[in-house]
Amino acid sequence: MGGGMSVSIVYSDALTSLGWGEELFDNLVAGKTGLKRANEVFENLPNPELAGMIGTINGICGEERVPQILDKAFRTILPPIAYASDLVVGGCSLGDLAGSDAGNPRAALVKAMEKVWPSKIPPTTLVSSACSSGTDAIIVASSAIKSGMADIVTVIGFDSLGAGKLIQHIALGTQSADRARPFDSTRSGTSFGEACGVMILANESGMDKLKSASIGRIASFGMSSDSYDIAAPHPDGKYAANAIRNAIKGINLQELGYINAHGSGTNLNDQAEAAALRLVFGDYLDQVSVGGTKGALGHSLGATGIVEAVLTLKAMNRRLYPPTTGLLNIDPQLALPLIRHSQIRSGSHRFGLTVTFGFGGVNSALLMEAS
């Protein structure tokens, strides 16, 4: 989807298990990981040998984690220009039905905003589309600007990982007993985590009001649904491919230098994603750098889309593509041009693509242009 009013990015940052700000990206480029053993974070887990590693935020304790995460994020990564927003769009999964954070994440977001906003908070809505929530929140915000409904929109994607949610994913078989190894021949599941990302979007009028320069642009986006299975992606990737095609429609492929893959590390997701990318790009895919962050940060559920959008934009602007932490041996059946754990590739291409796939067959792709 493209056309209409231009959507500029004037600010972006993320609070993660590896920190925030420049330190976050520097740690990622260095191949560091924020993952730790789950039984070091949560006591009395049943079958702790199955719990593997997780990516939780330092200083966040107990089960009621969403308010703590939002409070810390608002202290560290929410800039004062957010207070000029016409609209706030949140993104969070509702998959925490067994924990104390279950309920209404929009209410938690509004409550956290009321603590820091210097005046009446703007209209606030929330997108919940499983692991694509953060990406879809950016898409909703972009659409609000393109339609002329808003000049400045702040997007806040957040999610928590409590013991209850972790136990659910162990039961589902999606949490690795080892650690996330995206696209690896020995991959055995993901490593769940938590995070909060903030991205502020504006049109030209909004940038004038903020006196802020553009650090990038939402060039386009695509969305699709598998309509296949509540938890598994369509194995041949054809519906995920539709989302990607819609996002890159109209660009010169030679201007695309970097793809941030969803790369959860589960057997089914990585197979379907590799198939989707090959369907869209064919042999040209081998000329693009493909990487993923979940082996470093963990899979932060509803926050993962905005976190990875923040990092994709940073990679494009720094002209530095971080490695796929956790990857040791690329699965030969996937045949992807992955950035290895020991490699850092530089480039100066115009566009970067980030993709997210969620339970229920939700597929989202976001194309961003570097500044």
Marked catalytic residue, from 61, 169, 299, 349: 299
**Structure confidence by residue, pLDDT tens digits, 115-158:** 999 999 999 999 999 999 999 999 999 999 999 999 999 999 99
Catalytic residue from among 92, 196, 262, 349: 262
pLDDT bucket at 96, cuts 50 / 70 / 90: very low
Q: Cα(363)–Cα(226) distance, rounded to whole angstroms?
A: 8
Handedness of CA 250, 254, 258, 263 (dihedral sign): positive
Specify the higher pLDDT residue, 193 or 359: 193
Q: What is the pLDDT of residues 315-339, one digit of tens each?
A: 999 999 999 999 999 999 998 999 9
pTM, two decimals, is 0.96
| Confidence at 77, pLDDT banded by 50, 70, 90 | very high
Q: Using one digit for the tens of pLDDT, what is the confidence trace for 200-253?
A: 999 999 999 999 999 999 999 999 999 898 888 999 999 999 999 999 999 999
61 is known as an active-site residue: no
Residue 348's pLDDT is 75
- Residue closest to 218 by CA, chosen among 371, 97, 24, 14: 371
Query: Which pLDDT score, from 0 to 100, does residue 98 have?
Result: 45
pLDDT at 95 over 60: no
Is 299 designated active site? yes
Cα–Cα distances in angstroms (integers) from residue 258 to residues 21, 195, 312, 353, 359, in the given order: 21, 23, 8, 6, 25
131, 169, 196, 234: which is the annotated catalytic residue? 131
How many CB atoms neighbour CB 367 within 10 A? 26
pLDDT digit string, tens, across residues 24-64 = 999 999 999 999 999 999 998 998 999 999 999 999 998 89
Residue 93 predicted with pLDDT over 70? yes
Domain 217-370 has CATH 2.60.40.420: no
Q: How confident is the model at residue 277 (pLDDT cuts 50, 70, 90)?
A: very high
Q: Which architecture, in CATH terms, is 8-210?
A: 3-Layer(aba) Sandwich (3.40)
Q: Looking at residue 330, what DSSP letter applies?
A: B
The region of weakest confidence among 175-184, 327-336, 344-353 is 344-353
Dihedral in degrees, nearest 10, Cα atoms 175, 247, 302, 307: 90
- Note the maximum CA span of the chain: 56
For position 2, what pLDDT does the model report?
Answer: 46
- pLDDT bucket at 342, cuts 50 / 70 / 90: low
Q: Residue 97 above 50 pLDDT?
A: no
Residue ranges matching CATH 3.40.47.10 in the chain: 8-210, 217-370
Average predicted confidence (pLDDT) for the chain: 94
pLDDT at 102: 55
What percentage of the chain exceeds 90 in pLDDT? 88
Structure tokens at 154: 């702040």
Please tell me the predicted confidence (pLDDT) of residue 301.
Answer: 96
131 is catalytic: yes
Helix-, strand-, coil-residue percentages of the chain, each rounded to 5: 35, 25, 40
Query: Token digits for 190?
Result: 């993901």
